[in-house]
């Protein structure tokens, strides 16, 4: 029986994704570092993996990953050496290709000049971004009082903290001006008035966010337990520069909102 190479590649990619998603976010950063170091580290390169904690900490962390089948432990001329496992390497390369497509969509949204085009291109980027973690159930939803750019529902693998019945994503292609307090207040009011008591929303912008807007998001969380999680241009571009799952970014944004509001 001959196995189709494409089928085998997809199976290996799925296995690699399972491993990559199973380890911690810190371990994923370590795996990506090894991957970008030609997929192999040894000797002095191990020092660079944990400059604050030392080479022994790096080796312990990599040994833990070897038990997860994420890396292979080898013996090199300078002692312990580690290589990204073939299945995880396949998965990371597939993630990099997906990030390249997202980066292209982001660049198109930033380059748009006409208002209608700016909105449509950013919403297309947001849909491609969020579909990694959620199901996109609707776009440009109009009601009597408001319009929502995206409506999201959790998938089976969605991070538990984002398991609302559905979530809202609001997109602002505002490179020349910052998202201000009024935008956050308006979105919070829309969530309060929407049937079903939606309590979570993502606010994505191609520009910056004022301090007052972030403070308003914290106030809304403390007063109403409504979570408006802001994804500004800096956060998006940092995310697009790596291959970490979207859940890592969203969990960090959620953590900052909740902890700073406590």
Confidence of residue 2 (pLDDT cuts 50, 70, 90): low
| Tens of pLDDT, residues 151-177 | 899 998 898 888 776 688 889 988 888
Least confident of 98-102, 109-113, 187-191, 251-255: 187-191
Q: Which residue has the higher pLDDT, 194 or 59?
A: 59
| Model pTM above 0.95 | no
Give residues with Cβ within 8 angstroms of 84, minimum separation 6: 31, 34, 35, 39, 40, 70, 71, 72, 92
Are residues 145 and 193 in contact, defined by beta-carbon separation less than 8 angstroms? yes
Confidence of residue 143 (pLDDT cuts 50, 70, 90): low
Dihedral over alpha carbons 103, 109, 111, 113 (to 10 degrees): 180
pLDDT at 45: 84
Give backbone dihedrals phi and psi of 60, rounded to 5 degrees, phi first. -60, -45
List the domains of the chain with CATH numbers. 5-91 (1.10.10.10), 112-261 (3.40.1350.10)
Coil vs helix vs strand at 179: strand
| Tens of pLDDT, residues 84-127 | 999 999 999 999 999 999 999 999 999 998 888 998 999 999 99
pLDDT at 10: 81
Least confident of 41-50, 82-91, 204-213: 41-50
Look at residue 150 and tell me whether its pLDDT is greater than 60.
yes
Least confident of 39-53, 72-86, 88-102, 226-240: 39-53
Q: Cβ–Cβ contacts within 10 Å for residue 111, how many?
A: 11
């Amino acid at each position: 029986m001959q196995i189709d190479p494409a089928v085998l590649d997809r199976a290996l990619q799925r296995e690699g994704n399972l491993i990559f998603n199973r380890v911690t976010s810190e371990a994923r950063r370590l795996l990506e570092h090894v991957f970008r170091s030609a997929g192999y580290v040894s000797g002095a390169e191990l020092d660079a993996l944990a400059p604050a904690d030392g080479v022994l900490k790096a080796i312990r962390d990599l040994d833990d990953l070897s038990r997860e089948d994420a890396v292979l432990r080898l013996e090199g001329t300078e002692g312990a050496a580690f290589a990204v496992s073939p299945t995880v390497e396949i998965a990371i390369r597939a993630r990099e290709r997906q990030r390249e497509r997202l980066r292209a969509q982001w660049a198109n949204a930033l380059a748009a000049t006409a208002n209608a085009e700016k909105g449509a291109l950013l919403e297309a980027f947001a849909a491609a971004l969020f579909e990694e973690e959620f199901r996109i159930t609707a776009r440009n939803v109009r009601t009597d009082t408001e319009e929502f750019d995206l409506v999201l529902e959790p998938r089976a693998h969605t991070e538990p903290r984002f398991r609302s019945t559905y979530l809202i994503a609001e997109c602002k292609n505002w490179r020349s001006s910052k998202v201000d307090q009024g935008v956050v207040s308006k979105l919070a009011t829309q969530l309060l008035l929407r049937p079903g008591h939606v309590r979570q929303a993502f606010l994505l912008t191609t520009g910056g966010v004022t301090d007052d807007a972030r403070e308003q998001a914290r106030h809304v969380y403390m007063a109403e337990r409504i979570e408006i999680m802001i994804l500004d241009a800096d956060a998006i571009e940092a995310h697009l520069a790596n291959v970490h799952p979207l859940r890592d970014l969203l969990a960090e944004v959620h953590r900052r909102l909740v902890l700073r509001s406590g």
